[in-house]
Amino acid sequence: AGLPKYRVKKYYQTPVPGIALGLGWSENGGVPLYVESVVDLYQPSAGLRATGSLGDVMKESIEIGYTYVKRYLELNVDPKNKFFEKNAIHIHAPEGATPKDGPSAGITMITSLLSLATGKPIQPNLAMTGEITLTGKVIPVGGITEKLIAAKREGVKKVVLPKDNRKELEDIPEFVKEGLQIYLANYYSEVADVAFNETPTLQPVEIKTRKSID
């Protein structure tokens, strides 16, 4: 509403636990999609509330992420961490007037929640996109080219994508991929590896663009 379309956002200059950067996709191209999680104080019980003009698919995506992250924290990170048992959470996607939908922020939601629960901020200049299933498989999403362009415009240096989107990367022009470290994740644990470690175990891929027949 009256704002330039491609305003660089860079909302968060200092890394704060609970803030994650996803990548959305609209008719106008890719867009940075920030996600914030905070503790929702004085609630009678644990639970999750979500805001940000979210469509039904994104709301379900948050439910899935919430169910997943509770188990992931207990089984894979720290069984003694009772954060989700003890706290109600409020998760929000800023720019409240902009409708947002789709499942591709699944891994972003989980990473935001995990960051909040552990108190560890997410690596800076990192963006991610990928649908999550209830058992932690990262499945492919659309709009990869547009999302990479949006990521670069926002100053992103590292991107996590679903491994099953590898094929699309062969069709994306080199100049789009240039300057981006691209990580392909098959399971959520690989996303967490990149999100929370400056030098992750997972290595970035180098995927050459297919030459057109000449």
Q: Which of 37, 112, 115, 147 is catalytic?
A: 147
193 vs 136: CA distance, rounded Å: 14
With 0-12 CB in 10 A as exposed, 13-18 as middle and 19+ as buried, what is 70? middle
Query: In terms of CB distance, is 64 or 160 closer to a second copy?
Result: 64
Pull the structure tokens for residue 134: 């209830």
110 vs 136: CA distance, rounded Å: 10
Q: Which of 37, 61, 100, 104 is catalytic?
A: 104
Question: What does residue 113 show for φ and ψ, rounded to 5 degrees?
Answer: -65, -40
Piece in contact with a second copy (CB under 8 A), picked from 57-65, 169-177, 188-196, 199-207? 57-65
Q: How far is the CB of 125 from a second copy (least distance, A)?
A: 17
The one-letter amino acid at 201: T
Residues that bind a second copy (CB under 8 A): 1-3, 7, 9, 11-12, 16, 18-19, 34, 36-42, 44-46, 49, 51-53, 56-57, 60-61, 63-64, 67-68, 70-71, 74, 84-85, 90-92, 94-97, 102-103, 106, 131, 133-135, 137, 139-144, 164
